[in-house]
Structure 1
Amino acid sequence: MTIWKAAGCAMAGNAAPERDIRPPSGINAALGRAAGQVASVCRRWPWYVQVLAVWALARIFSFAVFVAVAAQQGLNPWGWEGTPSYLQFIGAWDSEWYQRIFSDGYPSAIPRDETGRAQENPWAFYALFPGVVRVLAAVTGLGWEVLAPLVATAAGFGAALMVYRLFALRASSGTALWGVVFLAVSPVSPVLQVPYAESLNLLLLAASLYLLITCRYLLAVPVVLVMCLSRPVGVAFALMMGILFLRRWALRRQEAFPRPEAVQMAVLTAASGVGALTWPALAWAYTGDLRAYTDTETAWRGDTLLVFNPWFVEAERLFGPVMGPAALIALVALVVICLLSEPVRRLGVEMQVWCAAYAMYLFAFLNPLTSTFRLLLPLFPLGLALAALSSSRAYRPAVALGFLVLQIVWVAWLWRWTPLPGGGDYPP
Structure 2
Amino acid sequence: MARTAALKGRLASAGGQVSGWPWWVQVSGLYVAARLASAWIFMAAALHQGVNPWFPARPDYWSFINIWDARWYGEALQNGYPDVLPTDVSGAVQENAWAFYPLFPTLGRVLAGVTGMHPAVALTLIASVCGLGAALVVYGLFRLKATHGTALWGTLFFSTFPVSAVLQVPYAESLNLLLLAGALLLVVQRRYLSAMPVVVLMCLSRPTGVPFAAMAGLLLLYRLWQRRAERRRGEGTGEGHRTLHAAPAPGSAAPAPGSAAPSSGAELWSLAGLTAVSGIGALLWPAIAWAITGDLQAYTKTETVWRGHDLVPFRPWFDTGVMLFGPTLGVLAPFVFVALFALLMMSRPVAALGTELRLWCSCYLGYLLVFLHPQTSTFRMLLPLFPLALSAALVSRSRAYRGTVVLMFLLLQIVWIVWLWAWAPLPGGGDYPP
* TM surpasses 0.5: yes
2: CA distance, partners of 1:258 / 1:389 = 34
Aligned to 1:337: 343
2: CA distance, partners of 1:315 / 1:114 = 34
Q: CA deviation at 1:158?
A: 0.5
Aligned to 1:398: 404
2: CA distance, partners of 1:32 / 1:373 = 38
Residue of structure 2 aligned with 1:77, choices 38, 44, 53: 53
Greater shift in the superposed pair: 211-220 or 106-115: 106-115
Q: Does 2:391 align with 1:385?
A: yes
The answer for unaligned runs of 5 or more in structure 2 is: 231-261
2: CA distance, partners of 1:320 / 1:162 = 43
- For 1:376, what is the secondary structure of its paired residue? helix
Residue of structure 2 aligned with 1:290, choices 263, 273, 296: 296
Greater shift in the superposed pair: 28-37 or 333-342: 28-37
Aligned to 1:48: 24
Aligned to 2:377: 371
Aligned to 1:425: 431
Q: Does 2:277 align with 1:274?
A: no
- For 1:139, what is the secondary structure of its paired residue? helix
- For 2:328, what is the secondary structure of its paired residue? helix
Q: CA deviation at 1:297?
A: 1.1
Q: CA deviation at 1:417?
A: 0.5
2: CA distance, partners of 1:27 / 1:284 = 70
Q: Does 2:113 align with 1:138?
A: yes
2: CA distance, partners of 1:281 / 1:240 = 22
Aligned to 2:330: 324
Q: CA deviation at 1:34?
A: 2.0
Residue of structure 1 aligned with 2:13, choices 37, 50, 67: 37
Q: CA deviation at 1:113?
A: 2.6
Residue of structure 1 aligned with 2:103, choices 120, 123, 128: 128
2: CA distance, partners of 1:359 / 1:64 = 32
The residue correspondences of 1:154-173 to structure 2 (distance < 5 A) are 154-173=129-148
1: CA distance, partners of 2:329 / 2:90 = 35
Aligned to 1:10: none
Letter paired with 2:45: V
Q: Does 2:184 align with 1:209?
A: yes
Structural RMSD (CA)? 1.0
Letter paired with 1:117: A
Q: CA deviation at 1:259?
A: 1.3
* Residue-by-residue CA offset, 1:20-51 (whole Å, 9 max, x unaligned): xxx4xx44333322221111111100000000
Aligned to 2:217: 242
2: CA distance, partners of 1:38 / 1:254 = 52
Q: Does 2:86 align with 1:101?
A: no
Q: CA deviation at 1:144?
A: 1.4
Letter paired with 1:129: F
Q: CA deviation at 1:318?
A: 1.3
- For 2:228, what is the secondary structure of its paired residue? coil
Larger-Rg structure: 1
Residue of structure 2 aligned with 1:251, choices 226, 230, 235: 226
1: CA distance, partners of 2:151 / 2:127 = 23
* Residue-by-residue CA offset, 1:104-142 (whole Å, 9 max, x unaligned): 000001112334322111100000101001001111011
Residue of structure 1 aligned with 2:67, choices 71, 75, 92: 92
Q: CA deviation at 1:251?
A: 1.9
Q: CA deviation at 1:154?
A: 0.4
2: CA distance, partners of 1:138 / 1:227 = 23
* Residue-by-residue CA offset, 1:234-279 (whole Å, 9 max, x unaligned): 0000000010001111221234332111111111110000011001
- For 2:263, what is the secondary structure of its paired residue? coil
Letter paired with 2:319: V
Q: Does 2:155 align with 1:175?
A: no
2: CA distance, partners of 1:260 / 1:71 = 58
1: CA distance, partners of 2:399 / 2:383 = 26
> Given the two structures, how large is their TM-score scaled by the length of structure 2?
0.91
* Residue-by-residue CA offset, 1:332-382 (whole Å, 9 max, x unaligned): 111111112111111010000000000000000000000000000000000
The answer for unaligned runs of 5 or more in structure 1 is: 1-22
- For 2:326, what is the secondary structure of its paired residue? helix
Q: CA deviation at 1:393?
A: 2.1
Greater shift in the superposed pair: 31-40 or 208-217: 31-40
* Residue-by-residue CA offset, 1:202-232 (whole Å, 9 max, x unaligned): 0000000011111111111000000000000
Aligned to 2:245: none
Residue of structure 2 aligned with 1:59, choices 35, 38, 45: 35
Greater shift in the superposed pair: 292-301 or 88-97: 292-301
Letter paired with 2:48: Q
Q: CA deviation at 1:57?
A: 0.4
Aligned to 1:11: none
* Residue-by-residue CA offset, 1:145-166 (whole Å, 9 max, x unaligned): 3211111000000001100000
2: CA distance, partners of 1:358 / 1:42 = 36
Aligned to 1:219: 194
2: CA distance, partners of 1:306 / 1:120 = 19
Aligned to 2:316: 310
1: CA distance, partners of 2:9 / 2:162 = 31
Q: CA deviation at 1:143?
A: 1.1
Aligned to 1:346: 352
Percent identity for Structure 1 against Structure 2: 54
Aligned to 1:9: none
Q: CA deviation at 1:399?
A: 0.5
2: CA distance, partners of 1:124 / 1:31 = 54
